[in-house]
């Protein structure tokens, strides 16, 4: 394997950071995988006719959060698809919102530039 190829694959596998909660507990924020992104986009493409752009954006971000928050001790995802509504309804000043904003930042997303 070429050095460049190995470097790219290593960087892709090291795309996680620890997010500390006020309680002292920690979660691991992992960048979504390519497969997760494709699944989310495919799912949302099927809803395009029935949802506004704003609704699609919100659902995409929540899906990415579901697929990106892990328990660092067990390696298991913290959320699953059944948590979608609860995550959507989380207050704007919550730790959920903080994690969402951090995830968007590390994904290189912002509301103005997308």
The length of the chain in residues reads 114
DSSP 61-102: HHHHHHTTEE-TTT--BS--GGGHHHHHTS-TTSHHHHHHHH
- The pLDDT tens digits of the residues spanning 13-25 come to 657 888 888 889 9
Which of 102, 81, 98, 80 is closest to 90 using CA atoms? 98
Reported pTM:
0.76
Question: Per-residue pLDDT for 112 more than 70?
Answer: no
Q: Which domains are assigned to the chain?
A: 18-106 (3.30.2220.20)
DSSP-derived letter for residue 33 is P
């Amino acid at each position: 394997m070429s050095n460049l190829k190995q470097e790219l694959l290593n960087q892709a596998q090291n795309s996680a950071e620890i997010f500390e909660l006020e309680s002292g507990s920690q979660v691991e924020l992992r960048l979504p995988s390519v497969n997760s992104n494709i699944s989310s986009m495919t799912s949302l493409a099927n809803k395009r006719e029935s949802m506004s752009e704003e609704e699609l954006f919100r659902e995409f971000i929540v899906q990415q959060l579901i697929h990106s928050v892990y328990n660092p001790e067990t390696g298991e995802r913290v959320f699953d698809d059944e948590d979608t509504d609860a995550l959507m309804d989380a207050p704007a000043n919550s730790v959920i919102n903080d994690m969402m904003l951090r995830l968007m930042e590390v994904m290189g997303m912002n509301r103005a530039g997308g």
